Chains A and B, each alone.
Chain A
Amino acid sequence: MKEQKPKLKLAVYWAAACGGCCVSVLDVHEKLFDVVAAADLVFWPIALDFKYKDVEDMPDGHIDVTLFNGAVRNSENEYMARLLRKKTKILVAYGSCAHLGGIPGLANFFTGEEIFKRVYEESESTINPEKIRPQHEYEVPEGTLEIPVFFNDVRPLDRVVDVDYYLPGCPPQTERLLEVFLAIVTGAELPPKGSVVGAGTKAQCDECIRKKTENKLIKKFYRPWEINDDGESCFMEQGVLCMGPATRSGCGYRCIKGNAPCRGCYGPTADVIDPGTKMMSAIASIIDAKDPDELEKIISDVVDPAGTFYRFSLPSAIIRRKLL
């Protein structure tokens, strides 16, 4: 029998994530056979019954590639990030949360205490007169039970461990994942460490399928439900906030094709450190007003600048959380 090339060892892990990234891996559909032919899945909590202990027992550097999705929200996430870093040759921050902090990162507008107060005391569906909160440690007759510690701040993966590659998106487009995966399998030359893979380098607007004109001046911002989108002209020209100018290309315009403005999940373009500030610059260029009062009125239609411009990237922005 011909000797087979050793298979790649692949792991997928979710930290503070919604599960969408893991589903995007499943979305390879029948290509899964190609993946399984080239790789053994050694750890994947959403699909396979391996325990943390199995990972702990692996020798260091045992796993070839780990797709780590989700932000670091609690001590369990942090522990697994460090553990997988130790056991993995190529650690990929997979998806917006691991890459930039993502939607869970919006919790950085609040403190851990504020979140607990809301969730365990104030929310409309909660009845908790004794104000019981989850405890990190709890004594029971059988011993001490532990649950992870909830951190005050959300951090992207690279604030906790060294990351080899970033694969952006919420979730990443499955085709891009396959391209990257096949590049690793075939032994193609890999980009330098720290690169963003599976995405373009330019902004969304660069190749956007919507019609653009030179008329980039607007008198009013609309929220998407306030206008009848004509279905073909640039959202910004219609006065709808679209994160396209400050967002990396590569997603295949999934939102735009669905007649929704870009929300910025692919993160900033190459060499840009902060997408929100770029977006502020872009918007400032198209507002058609010189009078401060008129300007103030137009900007008042941008209801939530911080949440809109940093929807996926707050924990990796220049100012990574709301000040206390």
Chain B
Amino acid sequence: MEFKPKVIAFLCNWCSYTGADLAGTARVKYKPNVRAIRVMCSGRIEPTFVLRAFRKGADGVLICGCHPGDCHYQEGNYRCLRRYHLLQKYIQQMGIETGRLKLEWISASEGKQYAELIDSFTETITELGPCKIKETMENLT
């Protein structure tokens, strides 16, 4: 059976979700593997959210926020950036491919870029294959 990756995308309300919306209203075609979750700010995305997404079977997690300097709450995206770097280091230690987690800045006007990002990220995850976290955690002895 062909592998259809499950990708969770956390999108900030002010830029990235609006950007994704724009991709939709402009009828840009992109891969259907993404489940978008809207949060108020990329700074709201706790590492817990990301790990739980993987634990529950996501093959890849995408975080999108406003471009640096553009955060609606001034600093939220920088917090997100720092968490992202820590998380990357952590998941690498846990034997998870770092490519499965990605942070990108998408502004409200970047519908096209959003679509391209989803396509390229889905492709990366397809190449990486299914994520083994869920299976491993359910089969501990």
Q: Which residues of A contact B (CB under 8 A)?
A: 109, 151-153, 155, 159, 273-274, 276-278, 280-281, 283-285, 287, 289-290, 292, 295-296, 299, 302, 304-307, 309, 318-324
B94 touches A319 (CB 8 A): yes
Bound form: Cα–Cα A26–B37 in Å? 52
Q: Are A285 and B79 in contact (CB under 8 A)?
A: yes
- Name the contact of B83 in the complex, choosing from A273, A281, A304, A306 (C-beta under 8 A): A281
B40 at the interface (CB under 8 A from A): no
Interface size of B by CB at 8 A reads 28
Chain B residues with CB under 8 A of A281: 46-47, 83
Is B137 located at the chain interface by the 8 A CB criterion? yes
Chain B interface secondary structure, helix, strand, loop or mixed?
A: helix
- A151–B93 Cα distance when bound, in Å, is 21
B141 within 8 A of A: yes
Q: How far is the CB of B46 from chain A (nearest CB, A)?
A: 5
Instruction: Report whether A305 and B48 are in contact in the complex, using a CB–CB cutoff of 8 Å.
Output: no
Contacts A278-B48, A318-B51, A323-B136 given; does A305 touch B81 at CB 8 Å: no
Contact of B140 among A302, A305, A320 (CB under 8 A): A320
Q: Is the CB of A299 within 8 A of B93?
A: no
Q: What residues of chain B have their CB less than 8 Å away from a CB belonging to chain A?
A: 46-48, 51-52, 54-55, 68, 78-79, 81-83, 85-87, 89-90, 93-96, 132-133, 136-137, 140-141
| A296 with B95: CB separation less than 8 A | no
Question: Is the beta-carbon distance between B141 and A274 smaller than 8 angstroms?
Answer: no
A284 CA / B55 CA spacing, docked (Å): 22
* Cβ–Cβ contact B54 & A319, under 8 A: yes
* Residues from chain A with Cβ under 8 Å of B68 in the complex: 290
* B82 nearest in chain A by CB position: A284
CB-CB under 8 A from B54, the residues of chain A are 319
Partner of A287, one of B82, B133, B141: B82
Residues of A within 8 A of B140 (CB): 152-153, 155, 159, 320-321
B68 nearest in chain A by CB position: A290
Residues of A within 8 Å of B51, CB to CB, are: 274, 277, 318-319
CB pair B90 A320 closer than 8 Å: no
Picked from B48, B78, B132, the residue with its CB within 8 Å of the CB of A273 is B48
Could you tell me if A299 and B86 are in contact, using CB atoms closer than 8 angstroms? yes
- A25 nearest CB across to chain B (Å): 29
A290 vs B81: C-alpha distance when bound (angstroms) = 8
| CB pair B141 A152 closer than 8 Å | yes
